[in-house]
Chains A and B, each alone.
Chain A
Amino acid sequence: MALAKRIIPCLDVDNGRVVKGVQFVDIRDAGDPVEIARRYDQEGADEITFLDITASHEQRDTMVHVVEKVAGEVFIPLTVGGGIRETADIRRMLNAGADKIAINTAAVFNPDFVRQAADQFGSQCIVVAIDAKRVEDDAQTGEPRWEIFTHGGRKPTGINAVEWASRMVSYGAGEILLTSMDRDGTRNGFDLALTHAVSDAVDVPVIASGGVGNLDHLAEGVLQGHADAVLAASIFHFGEYTITEAKQYMVRRGIEMRL
């Protein structure tokens, strides 16, 4: 008997539709979020993450309705991220039926927001999303280094990703959603060194994200990256693999799963 590792399908939602960009450029329409969430739930998804990539403020209401609708019929944990800037945004999503809220850019510009959010709503529902890119190796130690990037991976911040993860946990983050901007959309697999470094540096669960192209990548994220959960989008959206197949594969690799 042991805690299972989790498989989390991620739905990028733009104006009420699920889309998936390849390195934030080529946006393909993948369907209705409620329908897709229902299918993933039936296939055994352990959790579902919605990232609201809608640019305009007016269209954010659409996301609230999507969450409400999904929460009324899908009874597994739901995480919502994208455009979360103030505690009012968090309350709105929690009231709509979200269980966890992912804070990304707002944490970088105002780290105290994470502390405030965790105090008000509890660490269990505050996920800090980190977009990291590999930069030059440390000049002294020769170790690899990663930095936090904002604006879809375009703007460097100079912040060390591993240190940032530890700091966010000390501010009350209950979980880290770690995306490699180098790998996102490439289908070449997770940045395992990054995943490993962050997962071993913090006490809270780490979700590996960015780069999954096949089932072997999911297993590597857990076995070599030490991730507690693995997140993927396109391999599930376009019907290459079902969540059930992914879980059965993980079990064959000796990973504890909920089947």
Chain B
Amino acid sequence: MSSIAIIDYEMGNLHSIAKAVEHVAGETRVLVTSVPEKILAADRVIFPGVGGIGHCMESLLRRGLDPVIREVAASGKPLLGICLGMQAMLERSEENGGIDCLGLIKGEVRRFSDSLNDNGVKLKVPHMGWNQVHQQTHPLWQDIDQDSRFYFVHSYYAIPAESADCAGVADYGGEFCCTLARENLFAVQFHPEKSQHAGLTLLRNFSRWDGRDS
């Protein structure tokens, strides 16, 4: 039986993710854990997170989980970052006065501008709700209609240094990259566990993914 470990470092509601994965992953064993050995022993790993990046990185470091995530990334095992987990994969975020992150993917994280607007209408921050994602070719998008809507809630967004690392874009007062993909890493700004059919399909695809990007 294959297994998926969801990294528990007390940053957000992991139960929703576990429930959604259990719902679609068939025989897969799903465990929510902060134990490095269990994370490293799993076939696939989900790195979630909500809240502030400062607190997130501090919690990872305190639990000794940063080398664990690096090891998973280097192992070639499928690794899925969600929301803050995605942002933490980049090199640096400007949140909380500037925080160094894991640097698994080159690039940085910035806040949406307060003066964001759409044809003169002021846009709210956080970007909260269902927005369309324009997908680039990747096996994890299989069976999901192009431009499907996913549920977002965030005030900061990723800017990958290399455009080849971006596998999906959304528009909020301008296009931004909402999905990163590089070899066995896939990371999304939105919440697949809260995005009904489209989100569940993505999680099902991940539960079967071999970690190759084509």
Contacts and interface: CB of A to CB of B under 8 A. Distances in A.
Interface of A: 1-6, 41, 46, 71-73, 75-77, 94-99, 121-125, 174-175, 203-205, 228-229, 258
Contact of B13 (A1, A2, A99, A204): A99
A120 B97 CA distance: 18
Contact of A2 (B114, B131, B134, B195): B131
B149 A75 contact: no
B52 A122 contact: yes
Nearest to B175: A1
A122 B195 CA distance: 20
28 contacts: A1-B132, A1-B147, A2-B132, A3-B152, A3-B172, A4-B129, A4-B131, A4-B149, A6-B130, A71-B16, A72-B19, A75-B16, A75-B19, A75-B193, A75-B196, A75-B199, A77-B194, A95-B13, A96-B15, A97-B19, A122-B51, A124-B51, A124-B126, A124-B153, A125-B13, A203-B114, A204-B128, A228-B128
B150 to A, nearest CB: 10
Q: Is the contact region of chain A dominated by helix, strand, or loop, or is it mixed?
A: loop
A222 to B, nearest CB: 12
Contacts of A98: 13
Given A99-B194, A205-B124, A121 B131 contact: no
B123 to A, nearest CB: 8
Given A75-B200, A97-B13, A203-B124, A4 B130 contact: yes
B195 A75 contact: yes
B171 interface: yes
Contact of A1 (B52, B128, B171): B171
Interface residues on B, range: 35 or more
Contacts of B16: 71, 75, 97, 99
A123 B15 contact: no
Given A99-B16, A258-B149, A3 B194 contact: no
Interface in B1-26: 12-13, 15-16, 19-20, 23
B115 to A, nearest CB: 11
Interface in B106-135: 114, 118, 123-132, 134
